[in-house]
Structure 1
């Protein structure tokens, strides 16, 4: 399910999607909010504004109470009849994923639509504070953002001085996608003392070739648990890849790594643990 969400997000990135809009200070607070992406649902709960939430998108399954709310659509379609019945005074959309034509249509229908950016780690704390302003939960949002920022800094400090290591993050195997340096996953790799081998690419979630991975020869391969136990099986055809020689294949918790929310701290902790083990494996291989 999380892999389907990731692929939907990738497809959305490849289409014409909502553009960042100026976000002036909220002049009013909103009482009936609908979120059109699962990560935005989580952010509403993270800032203590759950009482404002009247509808959500498909796959909004965390925290558990979100599963009880009416579903109004997914990454590409909106059930306009159900949306009308909910009478929202604010729609939150995912800047990088909600198609531009969907946003335009919603605004034409008279809805107030706010695009929330969640590409980077900084975006997560900024988004929480902005959502807090929109829903009248400024203090809770500031506190949640501070906890998140401090958590990222703690991870970074814990890895200070760790030897660098090159990393390939596999979003999906077929088609083969990764992330560039602007993506929060790449930032987590850097926080953990690693180096994303595709950080230089221009697209946020670019399609790549197998040959490009082999040429850049990463020391570590990462993916989410949605890839399954055989998530790296296809790479066995290249035994000389450093990640294969070192045995450095690691799966990260799917829901935590797939959504730009405070749960990225758990994903980051798992990633840092994996990269620490990867360094040990590299050192052991060097002595053989």
Structure 2
């Protein structure tokens, strides 16, 4: 994000889609995604959140905030009634029509679009700057980078493992290229067996999964069907591990914990 102009009545920022956003003093924030909510809380600005989505469940305090509807279909009328002086949205999931409707009411909307770890770093810095807590953003980002760099050092010279990461097991929805999970797998020194897929979230059958011959199968806890999970465990005996989905799927501060979890699975004897 680039601050391009300071005005007597606020500042003009460039969001992650290249749009100019005029922002005055931020006191009332509406978040349109769980990762945005987590970032705002991590920056110590949770008390300024007046509205969050139905899916914003972390940290615990987020559950107590006024709800503005779903992630994909937020209630625009509800958002407007909360009189926010800033709405933070994401291109990866929010309805662009809803975003434009909010803008029509002269409410500034800052849109983020983090697609990998580095994108999350940039987003945290952008939000910290627009909220006037740049130093807190720098501290948070510094720690995330430190952990990532440590893992980067530990994986040097190690043989890459072949990883199949599944979001759902019935049907089987996997991680293809360009996902946060795909990025974390690479950062942990391994390769995604579906990196050649034309889709970011390919739907595959068990036979396809087996044919990719993964060394490790990681399943997030987004949606795990008991019977389908049993079949996958039988097919990949001793190779299946569960990871909390929010740590891998949310482009926020806890993504670094997701990287640590994947690293521990792939390198269980590393201290």
Normalised by the size of structure 2, how large is the TM-score?
0.84
**Larger proportion of strand:** 2
Cα 1:228–1:150 shift into 2, 3 Å: farther
Matched, 1:162 2:158: yes
Shift of 1:126: 0.6
- 252, 262, 265: which is aligned to 1:271? 262
SS in 1 for 2:69: coil
Q: 2:229: which partner in 1?
A: 232
Given that residues 54 and 69 in structure 1 are in contact (C-alpha distance below 8 angstroms), is that contact kept between their aligned partners in structure 2?
yes
Give per-residue Cα distances to partners, 1:45-70, cap 9 Å, x unaligned.
Answer: 12222232111111212112212210
Given that residues 163 and 216 in structure 2 are in contact (C-alpha distance below 8 angstroms), is that contact kept between their aligned partners in structure 1?
yes
SS in 2 for 1:260: coil
- Pairwise mapping of residues 76-225 of structure 1 onto structure 2 (< 5 A)? 76-225=72-221
Shift of 1:25: 8.6
- Mapped to 2, the partners of 1:160 and 1:104 lie a distance apart of 46
**Larger proportion of helix:** 1
Greater displacement, 204-213 / 48-57: 204-213
- Mapped to 1, the partners of 2:22 and 2:193 lie a distance apart of 40
Normalised by the size of structure 1, how large is the TM-score?
0.79
- Mapped to 2, the partners of 1:158 and 1:89 lie a distance apart of 45
Structure 1 moving runs of 4+ over 6 Å: none
Shift of 1:230: 5.8
- 215, 232, 239: which is aligned to 1:248? 239
Q: 1:5: which partner in 2?
A: none
Given that residues 223 and 231 in structure 1 are in contact (C-alpha distance below 8 angstroms), is that contact kept between their aligned partners in structure 2?
no
| Matched residues, number | 255
- Mapped to 1, the partners of 2:221 and 2:243 lie a distance apart of 6
- Mapped to 1, the partners of 2:45 and 2:199 lie a distance apart of 33
- Mapped to 2, the partners of 1:97 and 1:41 lie a distance apart of 15
Shift of 1:201: 2.6
CA RMSD of aligned residues (A): 2.6
Give per-residue Cα distances to partners, 1:218-250, cap 9 Å, x unaligned.
Answer: 12110123427666323367x4xxx43xx1100
Q: Which runs of 5+ in 1 are unaligned?
A: 1-18, 280-288
Given that residues 128 and 141 in structure 1 are in contact (C-alpha distance below 8 angstroms), is that contact kept between their aligned partners in structure 2?
yes
- Mapped to 1, the partners of 2:191 and 2:157 lie a distance apart of 14
Q: 2:250: which partner in 1?
A: 259
- 14, 18, 26: which is aligned to 1:22? 18
- Mapped to 1, the partners of 2:67 and 2:220 lie a distance apart of 26
Cα 1:230–1:175 shift into 2, 3 Å: closer
Give per-residue Cα distances to partners, 1:10-48, cap 9 Å, x unaligned.
Answer: xxxxxxxxx961156976452211001111000011222
Shift of 1:210: 3.6
Given that residues 39 and 260 in structure 1 are in contact (C-alpha distance below 8 angstroms), is that contact kept between their aligned partners in structure 2?
yes
- Mapped to 2, the partners of 1:229 and 1:161 lie a distance apart of 38
